[in-house]
Amino acid sequence: MVFNRKPEPVPAEAPAPQLRRMDRGLGVEKQHLHAVQSAGAPTQSVIGNDLSIEGQTITIRCKGSLKVLGNIQADLHSRQLEVGKEAVIQGAIAAETIDVFGRVNGAIMGTHVILHAGAEVEGDIHSHLLSIEQGAAFDGRSRRVRDPSEIAPQLESPNQPANAQGRSTPPAVPSYTQNMAG
């Protein structure tokens, strides 16, 4: 099962993006207004508090930052993960940086894991650095991992072909010449 993000609807009264021209001595530079505004801004995906994802073999993968505010029954892999105060996650989670404010019922694997006040975790935590604030509840075992590759999130699906970035490797074709005299 695959989930795709739908583009945000544009209100009818919103003007269409326009090109902006800037004269700079040697020439005219054209820039798309939206590109100027979003340049350098990190991307964050959000699973809202009105969204529930349920299933037995679902894995959610995010190559950037993911903020969960809803109810998730799935495994999560992300570069950075924030579990919001009202969020409930039932499944294993793996990320480089994990901030837990809500509930997690499952294993947590991360380089740097922080259980903030009010967090409730039931499951084992495998991390390089673990911080538990006063007021957080943790029921499970903690294991310090020295090699971060042991707990690295799987940001790419193992079912994808190895050459999934659009690169194709041409097959090896033997090179020979044939003399057709006769």
pLDDT classification of 157: cutoffs 50, 70, 90: confident
Q: Tell whether 134 is covered by a domain.
A: yes
Q: Closest by alpha carbon to 113, among 86, 145, 139, 85?
A: 145
Rounded distance, CA 46 to CA 49, Å?
9
Mean pLDDT across 167-179: 42
Residue type, 50: D
The residue range of the domain holding 102 is 41-150
Please enumerate in sequence order all residues whose Cβ is within 8 A of that of 62, keeping only pairs 6 or more positions apart, or say none: 45, 76, 77, 78, 79, 81, 155
Report if pTM > 0.75. no
Q: Tell whether 74 is covered by a domain.
A: yes
Rounded distance, CA 102 to CA 136, Å?
9
Q: Tell whether 169 is covered by a domain.
A: no
Q: Closest by alpha carbon to 76, among 66, 162, 126?
A: 66
The number of folded domains in the chain is: 1
Q: Tell whether 84 is covered by a domain.
A: yes
Q: Closest by alpha carbon to 63, among 90, 96, 40?
A: 96
Q: Tell whether 57 is covered by a domain.
A: yes
Q: Tell whether 29 is covered by a domain.
A: no
Average pLDDT, the chain: 76
Question: Which tokens hold the place of 165?
Answer: 């970035």
Residue type, 105: N
Give residue-wise pLDDT tens across range 20-71: 444 444 433 333 333 334 445 567 889 988 888 888 889 999 999 999 999 9
Sign of CA pseudo-dihedral 25, 27, 32, 37: negative
